[in-house]
Structure 1
Amino acid sequence: MNEPAATRQRYILVLLLFLHTVNTYMDRVCISAAKLSMQEDISGLTDQMMGYVFGIFAVGYALFQIPAGWFSDRVGPRRALTIIVIIWSLFTAMTGAVFTAISLLVVRFLFGVGEAGAYPGATRALYRWLPPKERGIGQGIFHSGARVGAAFSLVAMPAIIDVIGWRWTFVANAVIGLVWVAVWWFWYRDRPEEHPAVNPAESELIERGIQDQETPNATLPFIQIVTSANVLLAMFQYAASNITFFISITWLRPYVEDRWGSDAANLTFVPLLVGAVALWVSGYTVTTLHRRGMPVLSRRIPAMAGYLLGAIGMLMCTQTSGSDSVWPLIASFSLALFGVEMTLSPSWAFCMDIGGERSGAVSGAMNMVGNLGAALSAVLFPYFVAHVTLPYLAPSSGSADSFFVFAAGMNGLAVVAWLFMDPLRPLPHLPPGALQKRMYGFLALMVVVVAALVYAKLFLG
C-alpha cells in the first residue's frame, strides 16, 4: 500500500507568522498616523519630544534583540512569542491611555522591549518547522507581512482614527495582537511531531531535511559563533539593507510631498508593495536553488543580485530630482527597494543555517545591528539633503541625491560582503582565553552600537 502523503501544517505556520508580522507593523505605523491627534491631547508632546518617542522605541527594540532571541531559544517559540506578543499588545493599548509626554516615552520604550523578540522568536519557530530547502520561501512570505502591514497602515490608520479616535485605535490594535496570541497558543507546538494535525510523513520530511543539512559549529560556544566573520558580515549587510528600506517608511513621503505635492505623496506606498513582491520572488529563488543542490549559492546569489539592484535603483534616483513628475523617483526607488528586499529571505535563512537551535539569538544579533542602519538612515537623510554635495551626481544641496549615492555605496559593499559569507563554513575550537577576548570585544562592539543608536535617535534626530 502507498504511504500517506505528508500533511502541510507547516504552511499554516508560515501563514500565522505572516499575520504576526503584519501586526507588528500595524502597531509601529499607528503612532505615526496618530501623531497630530496625540499632540493635541498630550501635554508637552512637541515635535522634538515626538522625535524622542519615535527614537526610544528603537532603543528598547535594539537593546533586547539578543536577550529576546536567547529567550526564544531557551523556552521555545510557543511560550516566548505568547509572552512577547502579550507584552507588546498591552503596551500598545497603554499608549492610548497616556496623558503626558514622559509617560508616553516610558510606554513606547517598553513597547520596543516587548516587540524585540518578534522576529527572532518567529525565526526560531521556522527553524524547527521548515526543512532548509523551504526556509527561503518561508522567510519571504513571513517578512512580506511587514511590508503589507506598513502599506495597509499608511492608508487605513488615518481613516480608523477619524472614526474611533486615536486612543481606541491603539486599543483595537492591541486586541488584534491578543487574538493572534490565542490562536498561536492553542495551535502551535515547538516540535512539529507534537502537533496533532502533523502526520508522521510530514514530521519525517521536516526532520530529515534538518538532519541532511546539519548546523556547522553546533557544539561551539555562542560567543564564538556570533563573533565569527559570517555573523559580523551578516550584521553589516543587514544594516546596509535597512539604510535603504527605512527611508520608505520615514522620510520618503515628506520628501515627495515637499518637492511634488500632497497628491504625489500618496504614491509613496507603491515601493512597499513592490518590496512585498520582492520578498516572495526572493523566497522562491532561495528555495529553488537549494532544491537544486546549492545550499550556499541559494543564499548568496539572491542577496548579491538584490544588493546590485538596490545600488542601481539608488543611483537612478539621483537623476529624478529635476523631473516635473514624481513617477521617475517612485519607479527608481521601487527598483531599489525591490533589490534590498530580495536580501531579507537569504539573510534570515542564513542565520537559521548557522544558528541552528540558537537561531533566535543569532538572528537577534543581526537584527540589532540592522536597526542601527535604520536609525542612522532616518537621521542622515535630512542632513544629506541640507548639507552634503557630491561632484556630478549631487552637485547642489536641497535634494536627496547625495544620500542616494551613499545608500548605493552601502549596497555595493554588501555585495562584496556576501562573497565571503558561507553558512557551511566550519570553525576551529578556540581556547578559553581567546573566547574571553572575543566576548569582551563583542560587548564593546554592542556598547558602541547602542551608544550610536541612542545618540543618533535621541540627540541628532
Structure 2
Amino acid sequence: MNSNGPSRQRYWLVFLLFLHTVNTYMDRVCISAAKGSMQDDIAGLDDQMMGYVFGIFAIGYALFQIPAGWFSDRAGPRRALTIVVIVWSIFTAMTGAVFTAISLLVVRFLFGAGEAGAYPGATRAMYNWLPANERGLGQGIFHSGARVGAALSLLIMPWLIDTIGWRMTFFANGVVGLVWGLVWWFWYRDEPADHPKVNSEEVEIIKRGLAEAQSSETKVPYVHLVTSANVLLAMFQYAASNITFFISITWLQPYLVETWGSDYALLASLPLLCGAVAQWVSGYTVTKLHGLGLPVMSRRLPAMIGFLLGAIGLLLCTQTVESTSVWTFVACFSLATFGVEMTLSPSWSFCMDIGGSRSGAVSAAMNMVGNMGAAVSAVAFPFFVAKVTFPGIAETPGTANSFFLFAAIINVLAMIAWLFMNPLRELKAISSAALRTRLILFLVLFVVVITALVYTNIVLK
C-alpha cells in the first residue's frame, strides 16, 4: 500500500467515463455525417426512410432506459457497462455492414437500446467511487464529453468518411467502443477496495463520503421513489433543459445556413463547446458549495443560475433577427446553451443523492423523460418558425423568435421547480392503494413518453 497519502484512482475513473461519453456521441453523430454516402449505397434509403432511421434510435434509447438502469444497479456497473458498451459497439460496426433500409432500421433500434445503459451505468459507477462532495465535478466532467464528442464529430467524421468510406468509419467507431469496453472490464472494480491501485487512504475517503450519503438513503419501493415530488420535478427540469440543448444538434446548423449562409455552418459547434465548459464550471461550483457544508444549495443554486442564463440567452436571441452579423446570434445562443448545460451536473448528482444504490434506475427515469424534451424541441422548432407569431417578438412567421420565447419561459419554470427540489427530503410512507395508483400513473407517463417519441420521430417524418 502507498503510504504517501491517498491514491487518486477515482480521478482516473472520471477520465475513463469522460472518454466513454465522448464515444457515445461520436457514434450517434456519425450517421448524420454519413447520410449522403449511405443513401447512395443503400436501396430504398430516401429522406423519408432516413428520418425513420434517425428516429428509431431515440425510441430504442428511451424504451430501454429504465430496464438498463435497473440492470446497472442489479448487476453492478463493471459487468453492466461492459455489456452495454460491447453491445452498442457491435451494432455500431454492423451499421457499416447493412445493405437494405429495413436492416438499417433494425440495427439502429438495437443500437439505441444498447446505448440506453450508457449514462445510468456510468452514474451508478460514480456512486460507488465518488464521495458526495465530489459528485458534482465528476458529473460535470463526465457529461462534458458528450458535447466534446458531438463537436469533434462535426469536424472529424466528414473527413474520416471521405478517407476510408462510411462503412469502415462505422467499423472504426465500433472498434473504439470495444477497446473501451475491454479497458473498463480489466480496470474497473465495483468496490474501490478491490482495485489494486487504490490504497487504504483513498478507500477511507470514498467510504466516509458514501456513508454520509447512505445515512439519508431511503428504502421505499422504487415506484414510490420515482413518483416522488423530487423525481417528478427532476424529470420536468431535465426535459426543459433538453428543449434548448437539442436545438444545438438538430436545427441549429440548418438555421444558420438558411439565415446567414453555408459559410457559417461550422459555427454550430461553438455552442456545444460552450456547453462543455459550462459543465466543468457547474461541476466545480457544485463540488465547492458541497464542501462548504451546503448540500442542498450545491445542487439548487448552479441549476437555477443555469436556467436563468438560458432564459436570458434565448431572449437575447430574439433581438438578433435584424442583425447582419451571425456572430451576435451565435454568442447569444451559446450563452443559452452554456446556461442549460450548467444544469446537468446538479441534475445527475441529485439523482445519485436521492437514488443511492438505485441511482442507475432513478437517473434512467429522469433521462427517459428528458428525451421527451428533445422530441418536443425537434417538432416545436420548425412549427414555431413557420406558424407562430408574438407581438413585439415575432411579428411575422419565418424567424425562430417565437420558439426562443417559448423555450425561455420553460427555462424560467424549470428554475422555479428547483426551489422545491431537496435531496435531503425524507419520503413518508404511503398506503398500498396509493402505491398502486402511483404505479399506474408512472406507467401512463412511460406510455406518453414513448408515444410522443414514436409520433415525433416516426409519424411526422
Following superposition, the deviation at residue 4 of structure 1 comes to: 4.1
CA–CA separation in structure 1 for the residues paired with 2:127 and 2:208: 13
1:228-377 paired onto structure 2 within 5 Å: 228-377=228-377
Change (3 A) 1:87 1:398: same
Aligned to 1:73: 73
> 1:441-460 to 2 correspondence within 5 Å?
441-460=441-460
The amino acid of 1:120's aligned partner reads P
1:186 aligns with 2:182: no
The number of equivalent residue pairs is 460
Matched, 1:118 2:101: no
1:48 equivalent to 2:48? Answer yes
Counterparts in 2 of 1:406-421, with a 5 A limit? 406-421=406-421
Tell me, yes or no, if the aligned pair for 1:14 and 1:141 is still in contact at 8 Å: yes
Whether the 8 Å contact between 1:217 and 1:225 is mirrored in structure 2 is no
Question: Alpha-carbon deviation of 1:395?
Answer: 1.0
Q: TM-score, normalised by structure 1?
A: 0.99
**Secondary structure in 2 matching 1:287:** helix
Offset, 1:215: 5.4
The residue type paired with residue 330 of structure 2 is I
**TM-score with structure 2 setting the length:** 0.99
2:59 and 2:212 map into 1 onto residues whose CA distance is 39
- Residue aligning to 2:148: 148
Query: How much has 1:324 moved relative to structure 2?
Result: 1.0
Give the superposition deviation at 1:79.
0.4
1:196 equivalenced with 2:199 (yes/no): no
The alpha carbon displacement at 1:217 in A equals 4.7
The runs of at least 4 aligned residues of structure 1 exceeding 4 Å deviation read: none
SS of residue paired to 1:296: helix
- What letter matches 1:242 in structure 2? N
Q: Report if the CA contact (8 A) 2:128-2:190 is conserved.
A: yes
* Amino acid in the other structure paired with 1:203: V
Matched, 1:385 2:385: yes
Structure 1 position 431, deviation (Å): 2.1
Structure 1 counterpart of 2:86:
86
Matched position secondary structure for 2:214? coil
Secondary structure of residue in 2 paired with 1:213: helix
Give the whole-Å Cα distance in 2 for the aligned partners of 1:71 and 1:213.
22
Residue 224 of structure 1 aligns with which residue? Answer: 224
Specify the code of the residue in structure 2 equivalent to 1:87.
V
Letter in 2 for 1:209: G
Q: Secondary structure at the match of 1:419?
A: helix
- What CA RMSD, in Å, does the superposition of the two structures yield over aligned residues? 1.0
Bigger shift: residues 201-210 or 299-308: 201-210
Whether contact under 8 Å (2:77, 2:190) holds in the other structure is yes
CA drift of 1:432 comes to: 1.8
Give how far 1:460 is off.
2.1
Q: Can you give the 5+ residue segments of structure 2 that lack an aligned partner in the other structure?
A: none
> Equivalents in 2 of 1:215, 1:277: separation in Å?
33
Contact 2:217–2:356 (8 Å) recurs in 1: no
Aligned-pair distance for 1:213? 2.8
Assess if the C-alpha contact under 8 Å between 1:217 and 1:427 holds in 2: no
For residues 375-431 of structure 1, give each alpha carbon's deviation from its aligned partner in whole angstroms, at most 9, with x where no partner exists.
111111111111111111111111111111111111011001000000000011122
Partner of 1:427: 427
Distance 1:286 1:272 in 2: 21
Contact (CA 8 Å) 2:213, 2:356: kept in 1 or not?
no
Q: 5+ unaligned residues in a row in structure 1: which ranges? A: none
